[in-house]
Chains A and B, each alone.
Chain A
Amino acid sequence: QSALTQPASVSGSPGQSITISCTGTSSDIGGSNSVSWYQQHPGKAPKLMIYDVGNRPSGVSDRFSGSKSGNTASLTISGLQAEDEADYYCGSYTTNIHVVFGGGTKLTVL
């Protein structure tokens, strides 16, 4: 099972919106509604930001939203803030109920 494909880096200015894509196949993202997104600050454990494509856990800001079209999932962060600067990973269940992650995207807030 190959890793999902994410851009290595994205950047935006405070207040702007950015979108991070995550491309897989019909065996993972395309065939699953269990797509999730994680935020990771340096030296910390990942934190769940989005689950089941577009749902936010309790306590996660509504500036974070997720969507999916075909084999590609997307994470959008609106109203960028300095504390959003982190690495972001997508994850998906596969058709054989394994889990695959993306390679990660470094978000820089300019």
Chain B
Amino acid sequence: EVQLVESGGGLVKPGGSLRLSCVGSGFTFTFSHAWMSWVRQAPGKGLEWVARVKNGGTTDYVAPVKGRFTISRDDSRNTLYLQMSSLKTEDTAVYYCATSETLNAFDIWGQGTMVTVSS
């Protein structure tokens, strides 16, 4: 069974930085095969796709985080990262890593890690 486990969330002041990690295990193919994404959910709000790194390393971002967040992967460690800088209060959310081995959808989700941006 594929599992994703996020870590790295916490309380940070506006303008600060934080790095999230997501470790994957149990992939039928390999972690390096999967397109990996971060999806966030602000308190009481809906889902928002944040960023994706494809196999091979190509990255894409949603407009509000472009230039502030960097998604990356270390396939040797089966780990996905999200480096967040210049954080704003509106970045406060639960951050999920999500993927699929075979579908154009997210059938594998982590448990989420909470990021709170507040002074």
Known pairs A45-B110, A99-B37; A52 contacts B103 (CB<8 A): yes
Nearest Cβ on chain B to A32's Cβ, whole angstroms: 9
Category for how many chain A residues contact B: 20 to 34
Residue numbers in A under 8 Å from B39 (CB-CB): 46, 101
Q: Which of B9-17, B21-29, B44-52, B71-79 contacts A (4 or more CB under 8 A)?
A: B44-52
Q: Cβ of B107 and Cβ of A101 under 8 Å apart?
A: no
CA distance A46 to B109 in the complex (A): 7
What is the size category of the interface that chain B forms with chain A?
Answer: 20 to 34
- Which of B47, B63, B98, B103 has the most chain A CB within a 10 Å cutoff? B47
Contact A51 B107 (CB under 8 A): yes
CA distance A102 to B62 in the complex (A): 15
Nearest 6 interchain pairs by C-beta: A34-B104, A36-B105, A51-B105, A99-B49, A45-B109, A104-B46
